[in-house]
């Protein structure tokens, strides 16, 4: 494998597969052809403020 660069957008679905659907990092890595290191980086990377708002809309009073 080379040093392929994947966009943050591409990384969202694999992260959801791991965190919400319960798939293992190894399983998602093999299925998508993405290194486990890339998946762990996406899992631990801080989300942008915009991404957080999409996931968790601001409270309205």
Mean pLDDT, rounded, for 50-61: 59
Does 57 have pLDDT greater than 80?
no
What is the 8-class DSSP label of residue 59?
P
Q: What confidence score (pLDDT) does residue 43 get? A: 85
Three-state secondary structure call for residue 11: helix
Residue 4 has pLDDT above 70, yes or no: no
Region 24-36 average pLDDT? 93
Task: Please write down the long-range contacts of 31-34, taking CB distance under 8 Å and 24 or more positions apart.
Answer: 34/6
The yes-or-no verdict on residue 27 having pLDDT over 90 is: yes
Residue 8 has a pLDDT of: 64
Please, what is the angle between helix 36-44 and helix 8-19, to 10°?
A: 90
């Amino acid at each position: 494998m080379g040093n392929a660069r994947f966009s943050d957008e591409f990384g969202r679905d694999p992260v959801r597969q791991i965190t919400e659907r319960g798939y293992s990092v190894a399983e998602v890595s093999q299925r998508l052809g993405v290194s486990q290191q890339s998946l762990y980086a996406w899992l631990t990377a801080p989300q942008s403020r915009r991404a957080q708002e999409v996931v968790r809309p601001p409270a309205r009073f």
